[in-house]
Amino acid sequence: MPAVAYFVQQIVNGLETGGVYALVALGYTLIYGILELLNFAHGDVYMVGAFLAGGVATLLVHNQVSAVPAVLVVGLMVLAATLGAGVLGVGIERVAYRPLRNANRLAPLITAIGVSLLLESAVQVWVSPAPVLVPSNALVPQTVLQVSGVETPLMGLMLLVVSVALMVGLDVFVYRTRFGSAMRATAQDREAAAFMGIDINRVIMVTFFVASALAGLGGVLFGLRFATIDFYMGYVLGFKAFTAAVVGGIGNVRGAMVGGLLLGVLESLAGGFISTQFQNTLVFLGLITVLMVRPQGLFGQPLTDRA
């Protein structure tokens, strides 16, 4: 493959993976923007969403022959993953985080790590410690698109398009709607927002639902694209998505989008041109360099003390 085509191929591969990173990173940044909480259980909510979708697919598809139309199966997968992950996120906030809302910041951070380990262990014990196959061959076309030597599966392109559409939709929701204004007001000053009549608990609940639903949908897209899920996938991808949110500017929605896509592209280029063995190491070295130059992230604002 010519060098230019190979370079473009790596960019395309990176954007596909970066779309999933961005969806999960959006959840990190939404929750941090509202509560200033690093929800390290968020990656495992993504993992649970993937398993919920995989369970629906396994139930309805047998030997790659479905008695239900493939479009309906995928729709049910999306519904199960988004609703299930959204409700799980709301439950985690209500049970684990809300009682610690006014506690020392270290307490909810440790709790988030505990919730993460709990979810991983629960799926490992109750579902499977081994990777689980998602019957994506029976659900989505396996067509490979090719343009000027650059090729990508149709599902990979769909993953990127859906991810970008969701990012744009979330951006409109946060910056163009009344409830989005309430979210931004709560993020800026919770006490002042409460004095203005904003239901803080409702805003936080909806934020956790939206963030978790996006993560669950990311799990669906990942399962359909790569056909394999496992109980540990949330830890690895969640860590990368958190890094993407920090690089983009933690608390900034548009920064999380760009950070996720950038991380995917850098990861693909590092693996394609340097070494897959040291791929993650090289990517994180590059991202550390970005933060050394701009500690607040690409789109973040310098930290100031609140009055």
pLDDT digits (tens, 9 = 90+) for 243-265: 888 888 888 888 889 999 999 99
Specify the pLDDT at position 65: 52
Tens of pLDDT, residue by residue over 54-73, are 999 988 886 555 567 888 88
* Amino acid symbol at 206: V
**Domain ranges (residues) in the chain:** 19-238
Higher pLDDT: 1 or 144? It is 144
For residue 60, give every residue at least 6 positions away whose Cβ sits within 8 Å of its Cβ, in sequence order, or none.
Answer: 66, 67, 68, 73, 76
- pTM of the complete model: 0.90
Alpha carbon 216 to its chain's center: 8
Q: What three-state secondary structure class fits 129?
A: coil
Confidence of residue 144 (pLDDT cuts 50, 70, 90): confident
- String of DSSP letters for 296-307: T-SS--------
Mean pLDDT of 24-36: 89
Specify the pLDDT at position 306: 45
Confidence of residue 150 (pLDDT cuts 50, 70, 90): confident
Gap between the Cα atoms of 68 and 175, Å rounded: 39
If you count them, how many residues does the chain have? 307
Specify the pLDDT at position 46: 95
Higher pLDDT: 302 or 86? It is 86
DSSP lists the bridge partners of residue 295 as none
Mean pLDDT of 83-99: 94
For residue 228, give every residue at least 6 positions away whose Cβ sits within 8 Å of its Cβ, in sequence order, or none.
Answer: 131, 132, 133, 134
Handedness of CA 257, 260, 266, 269 (dihedral sign): negative
The per-type count for the chain, helices as H runs and strands as E runs, is 11, 6
Q: Are strands 61-62 and 144-147 parallel, antiparallel or unpaired?
A: unpaired
Confidence of residue 106 (pLDDT cuts 50, 70, 90): confident
Q: Closest by alpha carbon to 271, among 260, 256, 281?
A: 281
| CB distance 265 to 14 below 8 Å | yes
Instruction: Flag the least confident range among 9-18, 48-57, 285-294.
Output: 285-294
Q: How far is the CA of 240 from the CAs of 136, 220, 237, in angstroms? A: 25, 18, 5
> Does the pLDDT of residue 16 top 70, yes or no?
yes
> Does the pLDDT of residue 148 top 90, yes or no?
no
> Does the pLDDT of residue 307 top 90, yes or no?
no
